[in-house]
């Protein structure tokens, strides 16, 4: 009995130990579970409360996209409301490269589907580096209807490729106005650096193009506008599910230019394939009516990105179509400067209205055997200042230049706008200052002192002196206005300053740049120079009298024939015996009507021969068209090909 009790007691003790062990294990398990619950609760609290903002933003970034909306670019019109630069809708193929694992394979498949070229793929690879992750990158512009249809049918094969409509700059008149309007093209790293420096980079989010040259560049801030944005929800394939918010862009301002499209086109057709430049200005305001550089090129080539082959073809063209001859072309002004030098000499007292110079056909530098020839070998006889302009007497201006000296010549010609930019509304890089020589210039350029013989050819617009057609036109308007200087300009008015259905009005105040010449020059001296210019066209011995013999209006002008290379003492110029690129340049300045001018012209025909005949004939046709609306005036081939003094 005692033995059984001991066994029972042992069993009871073992059961008690097991129960205690179980309880201890249960407590440990409960503690572990409790700890895990606490950890879970703390983690949940951290995620749901403390880090809610972070993870919510991250989630939204995966789900919500901010899509920039580029503004519509302002339209550019001519002075009569004809659109010169507009926006067309084109369709663009976009791709999100970061979400495609087999990108190269998809690009290969798209090659045949939408005629994707190797050059377009290369451009895409370059451009994608500038885009943020998961953003669509343009792959191909200006899709055709056939390409769009083929892609839509196969779109299921390309989940991260889509087509969007976008605004595309278009120039309806092609090459006619390239050197005025310029063009827009893709924003490059240089543009981005400039925009960032000016704190404007954020204004170009979503914008592909920017004005590169011409009006498009100069008035970029006005034309561009401000971007908007669209907040959208997207799915895991990047497709838009719904729109959450919309902030519309502000379109750029429309602008009206001073350019008369009809006149511009007429001049361009008149010049044909000549290498030439023509500037037409309203002398009463400084408004540029036409600015033609021939030959030109189609700016539409640059909008979507020009191919290397086409760009190289333009660069290598011997006629230099990329070159704006009207503002960058530099030529000796030749005898077109004689009226301005006459006014200067009269004002300085070097000559008087009655000063007579005897012309034997040459002028000899005092103290030397050096002779400077006149264009008329046997000379003009006795010459006063009016006759010196009418017959373009070189020997008269050799003497005047010698007596004035280079210092006074430089001073006065600077007053007429030579040797400096005109102030026209294009970028400085698009306009040359040309060369108005003086002592400092020669020492700086040639490391030599100025000599008396250097001054003599300057008197007839030769030697070191060069000018641009635009400078010539500005100088002429100064002459017309008796010394008052209006800044040449291309902007007439903005849309925001106009009433609905109203044509652009003249600017409230013409931009008067300088009036100092009105105080420096006696009014009668202006009239003397103008009388000489009138007789160039209508005098009995005027150099352009044959061209203007049938004119039904009064006009005034001055021709110039600029030598491209120097003749030896006994050489006779014969255009037929020398290569074309060595032939003289033909220059002509003119204005009409004579009493109340409404148009002033400056013309340069590269290697065009005699200024009075060839340049004068072009001027006559332009004046006829502008004043009379007469396009039928014909100049006989005999007159056009005849070469006489300038």
The pair of structure tokens assigned to 161 is: 């490729």
Neighbours of 411 (CB within 10 A): 14
The pair of structure tokens assigned to 119 is: 């050059």
Helix or strand run (H / E) with residue 294? strand 287-294
Among residues 181, 174, 163, the alpha carbon closest in space to that of 74 is found at: 181
Q: Which residues touch 70 (CB under 8 Å, ≥6 apart)?
A: 166, 167, 205, 206, 207, 208, 227, 249
Write the DSSP string, 35-57.
HHHHHHHHHHHIIIIITHHHHHH
3-state secondary structure string across 168-184:
EEECCCHHHHHHHHCEE
C-beta separation of 425 from 222 below 8 A: no
> Residue 130 has what DSSP assignment?
G
Sheet holding 276-282, edge to edge: 287-294, 276-282, 599-605, 585-592, 556-562
Q: Which residues touch 375 (CB under 8 Å, ≥6 apart)?
A: 392, 394, 561, 645, 646
The pair of structure tokens assigned to 600 is: 């002033």
Cα atoms in the Cβ-side hemisphere of radius 13 Å centred on 319: 13
The pair of structure tokens assigned to 485 is: 């200087």
Angle between helices 338-348 and 469-480 (to 10 degrees): 50
In angstroms, the CA 494 to CA 509 distance is 15
Helices then strands, counting H and E runs in the chain, come out as 22, 22
The pair of structure tokens assigned to 345 is: 């000499």
3-state secondary structure string across 63-107:
HEEEEEECCCCCCEECCCCCEEEEEEEEEEEEECHHHCCCHHHHH
C-beta separation of 294 from 495 below 8 A: no
* 336: helix, strand or coil: helix
In angstroms, the CA 609 to CA 615 distance is 8
Q: Is 26 exposed, middle or buried (0-12, 13-18, 19+ CB in 10 A)?
A: exposed
Among residues 480, 461, 349, the alpha carbon closest in space to that of 408 is found at: 349
Q: Which residues pair with 604 in a beta bridge?
A: 277, 587
Residue entry with tokens 């703390």: 42
In angstroms, the CA 290 to CA 280 distance is 5
Neighbours of 564 (CB within 10 A): 15
The pair of structure tokens assigned to 255 is: 């602008």
Residue entry with tokens 């010609």: 413
The pair of structure tokens assigned to 369 is: 């055997």
C-beta separation of 619 from 608 below 8 A: no
* Peptide linkage before 614 cis (omega within 30 of 0): no
Neighbours of 125 (CB within 10 A): 13
Residues serving a catalytic function are 335
Q: Is 182 exposed, middle or buried (0-12, 13-18, 19+ CB in 10 A)?
A: buried
């Amino acid at each position: 009995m005692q033995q059984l009790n001991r066994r029972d007691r042992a069993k009871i003790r073992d059961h008690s130990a097991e129960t205690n062990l179980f309880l201890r294990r249960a407590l440990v398990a409960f503690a572990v579970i409790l700890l895990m619950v606490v950890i879970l609760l703390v983690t949940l609290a951290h995620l749901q409360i403390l880090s809610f903002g972070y993870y919510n933003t991250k989630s939204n970034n995966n789900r919500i996209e901010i899509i920039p909306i580029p503004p519509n670019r302002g339209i550019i019109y001519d002075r009569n409301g004809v659109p010169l630069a507009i926006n067309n809708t084109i369709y663009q193929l976009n791709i999100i490269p970061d979400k495609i694992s087999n990108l190269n394979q998809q690009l290969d498949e798209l090659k045949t589907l939408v005629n994707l070229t190797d050059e377009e793929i290369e451009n895409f690879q370059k451009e994608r580096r500038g885009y943020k992750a998961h953003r669509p990158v343009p792959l191909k512009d200006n899709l055709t209807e056939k390409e769009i249809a083929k892609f839509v049918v196969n779109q299921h094969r390309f989940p991260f490729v889509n087509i969007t409509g976008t605004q595309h700059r278009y120039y309806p008149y092609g090459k006619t106005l390239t050197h005025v309007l310029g063009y827009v093209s893709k924003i490059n790293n240089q543009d981005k650096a400039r925009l960032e420096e000016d704190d404007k980079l954020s204004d170009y989010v979503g914008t592909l193009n920017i004005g590169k040259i011409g009006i498009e560049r100069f008035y970029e801030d006005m034309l561009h506008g401000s971007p908007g944005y669209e907040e959208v929800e997207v799915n895991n394939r990047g497709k838009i599910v719904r729109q959450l918010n919309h902030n519309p862009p502000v379109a750029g301002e429309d602008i009206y230019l001073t350019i008369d499209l009809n006149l511009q086109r007429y001049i361009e057709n008149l010049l044909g394939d000549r290498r030439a430049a023509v500037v037409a200005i309203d002398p009463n305001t400084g408004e540029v009516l036409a600015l033609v550089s021939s030959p030109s090129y189609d700016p539409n080539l640059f909008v979507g990105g020009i191919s290397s082959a086409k760009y190289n073809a333009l660069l290598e063209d011997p006629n230099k179509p990329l070159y704006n001859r009207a503002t960058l072309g530099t030529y000796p002004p030749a005898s077109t400067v004689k009226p301005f030098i006459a006014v200067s000499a009269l004002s300085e007292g070097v000559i008087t209205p009655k000063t007579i110079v005897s012309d034997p056909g040459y002028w000899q530098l005092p103290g030397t055997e050096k002779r400077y020839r006149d264009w008329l070998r046997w000379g003009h006889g006795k010459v006063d200042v009016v006759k010196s302009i009418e017959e373009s007497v070189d020997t008269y201006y050799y003497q005047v230049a010698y007596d004035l000296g280079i210092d006074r010549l430089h001073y006065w010609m600077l007053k007429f706008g030579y040797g400096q930019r005109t102030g026209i509304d294009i970028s400085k890089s698009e306009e040359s200052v040309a060369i108005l020589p003086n002592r400092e210039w020669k020492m700086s350029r040639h490391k030599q002192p100025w000599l008396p013989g250097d001054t003599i050819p300057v008197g007839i617009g030769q030697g070191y002196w060069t000018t641009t057609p635009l400078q010539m036109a500005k100088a002429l308007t100064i002459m017309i206005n008796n010394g008052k200087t209006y800044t040449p300009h291309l902007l007439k008015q903005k849309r925001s300053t106009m009433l609905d259905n109203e044509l652009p009005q003249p600017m409230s105040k013409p931009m008067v740049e300088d009036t100092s010449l009105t105080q420096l020059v006696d009014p009668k001296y202006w009239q003397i120079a103008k009388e000489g210019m009138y007789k160039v066209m209508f005098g009995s011995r005027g150099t352009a009298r044959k061209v203007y013999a049938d004119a039904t209006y009064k006009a005034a002008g001055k021709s110039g024939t600029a030598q491209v290379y120097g003749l030896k003492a006994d050489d006779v110029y014969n255009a037929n015996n020398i290569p074309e690129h060595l032939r003289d340049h033909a220059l002509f300045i003119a204005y009409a009507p004579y009493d109340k001018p409404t148009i002033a012209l400056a013309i340069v025909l590269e290697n065009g021969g005699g200024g009075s005949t060839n340049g004068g004939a072009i001027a006559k046709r332009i004046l006829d068209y502008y004043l009379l609306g007469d396009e039928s005036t014909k100049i006989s081939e005999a007159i056009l090909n005849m070469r006489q003094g300038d």
